[in-house]
Amino acid sequence: MSLNRRQILKILMIAFLFAGTAMLIPLLFALNIEDHRCAAAFGVLVPILFAAGLGCGYAHRKAPTRKKHIKPKDAYLSIALGWLLVLFVCSLPYALSRHGYTLMDGWFESAAAWTTTGATVLDLRSLPRTLLLWKAMNSWFGGMVLTTLTLTLFPRLGIAEQQITDNDFTGTTTGKLSPKLSSTLKISFALYGVLTLISLFLLLPSGMRPFYAVLNAMTCVSTAGLIDITGTSGAFLITPYIKFVLAVVALLSSVNFLTYYYTYRRKFRLAREYYEVRFYFRILLAASLSMTLVLYVTGTYRTLPQAFGNALVQTLSFSSTSGFVMGGISHWPVFCEVVLLVCALIGGCSFSTASGMKVSRAMVFLKLMTRGVDKRIHPHSTRAVNINGKAVPAKRASSITVFIMLYILVFILGCILMGIENQDMETTFTCVIASLTNTGTGFGKMASANYSIFSGFGRFISTLIMMTGRLEIYPMLLLLSKTFWASDHARLA
């Protein structure tokens, strides 16, 4: 296999310099609060990372120049390599802080944060504030980086179906915010930053301490969930207002960001015609109303408004793959648990911080199943799969079908591997769903999103499932493909 060494060196340089720069923030914070252990850990890592980044930059300049066009093989490898390197580097502060955390603990926390899964194997109530800040920062960076990849690189490689939600559903002629990549990145970063500020301003009046307001603004916008909802370490207590804020932020973060851009540019017709967003709202409404009825009839809640409020908040939590749970959900009827898991599997909209299969794929797949049933009745019909009055190309519909089948395959393999942990069926299944959809929260023993019940093997497998789900499956699966590692001549032969 011939690799683009220059491209790989560039990825390494960016990863090292990015991690080193990001660690300056917790380093300064640790020095300010006199957390000497964490300050020493970050203080050792920062110069090492900068030196490694500058070294890779020097080697990059000396490497032979290749054509500017990047092969898909090199792009996939760069994504996976950069992702794994960042996760490993960001796990080191946990192990070097001398607070008793192992490298595996750090790896899990780093992977769960960067994939915006929001799970943990530690007691967050006793975690040093510096490491809490680092975990929240990793979640925020993870949501930002994946949103950017979804908008820029993934569509070029055919990984995501973002182009469907733009070209085919709204009738627009481009799937980008701007014709230039640099402008696209600026706009996507600006949208992400604005949502973060909105979340922060909404959380501050809740009585939450400013430190935890900042942490949860970052984790809520990235759909990673919450940090410390118990209030036992002076964080905050769940109130109706906080529930309302969480629901609003989860909804805003899981909606296709292009709708905000079109609204800002006063292209209201395009924003209104985003069929994916309208379909997403229908899913949320149907799930909330059905669970409201069941919760009220079974006596879980005494009044309809109370049942509807809690059903809506948890629907938004699981559909946005934020995975925040607020008391009593483990005692909800099984019907509600199933509905919430289905919402998590579908996930949010394309080009959002939410994970899951994405609403755009669910729409096309549902249409394909409907057409399949109709063809059994009318074998000679040639009806196309139409979304918002426009036909979806057969090639694109086929790629969505393959993706969903791969998604199911990863789920099955994950259940088999996690079955080695010998937990009960509910815990095993929901653990895999929570990891694959990056929701983090499940049912049974997974209701608290704490994976400490698993061994080192189970935790490592869970992180691989998290990364596979967050990277849209292909980059991780292709690394296991024999064809991917074969040389170009061998593939041609």
| pLDDT at residue 453 in the model | 92
Least confident of 221-225, 268-272, 289-293: 268-272
| pLDDT at residue 184 in the model | 64
* Residue 263, both tokens: 């609204």
Tell which residue, 317, 351, 346, 350, has the closest CA to residue 404. Answer: 346
CA distance 470 to 439: 10
Q: For the segment 171-202, what is each residue's pLDDT rounded down to a tens digit?
A: 333 345 554 555 666 777 888 888 999 999 99
User: pLDDT-based confidence at 272, cuts 50/70/90?
Assistant: low
| pLDDT at residue 149 in the model | 63
Alpha-carbon torsion, ordered 144, 150, 152, 153, to 10 deg: 110
Name the residue with tokens 């019907």.
335
φ and ψ at residue 111, rounded to 5 degrees: -65, -45
Task: Decide if pLDDT at 469 tops 80.
Answer: yes
CA distance 446 to 145: 27
CA distance 122 to 110: 12
Highest mean pLDDT among 61-65, 66-70, 110-114, 267-271: 110-114
User: pLDDT-based confidence at 464, cuts 50/70/90?
Assistant: very high
User: pLDDT-based confidence at 472, cuts 50/70/90?
Assistant: confident
pTM of the model: 0.86
Q: Where are the domains of the chain?
A: 1-75, 127-410
| pLDDT at residue 62 in the model | 72
Residue predicted with more confidence, 281 or 485:
281
Task: Decide if pLDDT at 12 tops 60.
Answer: yes
Residues 6+ apart with CB under 8 A from 416: none
CA distance 296 to 449: 26
CA distance 483 to 489: 11
| pLDDT at residue 151 in the model | 58
| pLDDT at residue 273 in the model | 60
Sign of CA dihedral 431, 435, 439, 440: positive
Q: What is the pLDDT of the chain when averaged over all its residues?
A: 81
Long-range contacts of 303-306 (CB under 8 A, 24+ apart): none
Task: Decide if pLDDT at 148 tops 70.
Answer: no
φ and ψ at residue 450, rounded to 5 degrees: -105, 120
Average pLDDT, stretch 250-256? 89
Q: For the segment 410-427, what is each residue's pLDDT rounded down to a tens digit?
A: 999 999 999 999 999 999
Average pLDDT, stretch 119-144? 89
Cα angle 76, 80, 81; round to 5: 110
Task: Decide if pLDDT at 234 tops 90.
Answer: no
Average pLDDT, stretch 296-319? 91
* Residue 469, both tokens: 């789900």
